[in-house]
Amino acid sequence: MPASRPKLLSYLLGVPGALTLWKWFSHSRARLNLADMRRDYGLAGLAEGDAPADDPWPLWERWIAEAVKSGIREPNALVVATADAAGQPSTRMVLLKGADRGGFVFYSNYESRKAGELAANPRAALLFPWHELERQVIVEGAVEKVSAQESTVYFHSRPLGSQVGAWASAQSTVLSGREELERRVAARMAEFQGRVVPLPPFWGGYRVVPTAIEFWQGRPSRLHDRLRYTRQPDGSWRRERLSP
C-alpha cells in the first residue's frame, strides 16, 4: 500500500534534506513533463479530391509552395535517412536545393558519413517536418550523384565563406578542437585569395529519385490523413490512403 501524500510529507519533514530533494524532484517533473505534451491537430484536411490519383507532383508543388509562403523557418530543411551495409540507419538534416519530377536534390561532402553509406547502399528516405502546418512529407527512393556541371553551378552560387568552408571541412571526421578547423579555413582562405574557388572534387549534389511519396496532414484525435503514392513497375503512380 503506498503511503498517502500527507503521511509521506510528514515523514519527509522528519528526514534532513529530504524535503529539498522532494521539492527539486517535483519541480523538475513539472518543468519537463514529456508525457503530458501533446497538441491536437485541426488546421486542415487532405482529401482524395485535393490531388490527382496518378501523379504526386501537383500536391508536392502545392505543399512546398505553401510551406514557403507560410513563413516557417527553413521550409526546405529535411531529414535524410541512410543506412550502412550492416543495416545501421543514420539521419541528419540537409537543405533541399532543387526538386522536380526527376527527384529531390541536396548538396554535401562526398566523403562524409552519409556519403559512405550511400556508396554502400544508394537508397535514402527524406522527411520534411512542417510542424507549424501540421504536415510531413516522406520520400523514399534511389540516390544518384548529380552531374559535376550541376554541382559546379550550385557551388558557385554559394557565399564565398561556404565555398571555402567546403574545402576546409573534412566532413564527419574527428577534429582535435575548434582551432584545427579555424586553421584549416584560414589556410584555404589564403590559398584561394583573389581566385575563383573551384568545386572540390569531394563535394557535390545527390538526387533522390522517388519511389514513394507520402503526404501527411494532422487531424483531430490522431485520426490523421495519409495519402501515399508509390511508383509502379511501368512507371505510373498508384495512390492509397493509409491508416493513421
| Chain residues that interact with ligand FMN, rule: CB under 6 A | 74, 77, 90, 92-95, 106-109, 112-114, 171-172
Give the nearest distance from C-beta 139 to ligand FMN in angstroms: 16
Report the Cα 164 to chain-centroid distance in Å.
25
Can 238 be counted among the known catalytic residues? Answer: no
Q: Name the active-site residue from 29, 62, 183, 222.
A: 222
| Residue 231 CB burial class (10 angstroms; 0-12, 13-18, ≥19) | middle
Say how far apart CA 104 and CA 173 lie, in whole Å. Answer: 26
Of 93 and 148, the one with the shorter C-beta distance to ligand FMN is: 93
Of 77 and 83, the one with the shorter C-beta distance to ligand FMN is: 77
CA angle (227 as vertex; 223, 229 as ends), nearest 5: 160
Cell 582562405 sits on residue? 189
Say how far apart CA 41 and CA 220 lie, in whole Å. Answer: 5
Give the nearest distance from C-beta 95 to ligand FMN in angstroms: 4
Give the nearest distance from C-beta 79 to ligand FMN in angstroms: 9
- Contact assessment for residue 90 and residue 124, using Cβ atoms and an 8 Å cutoff: no
Catalytic site positions: 222
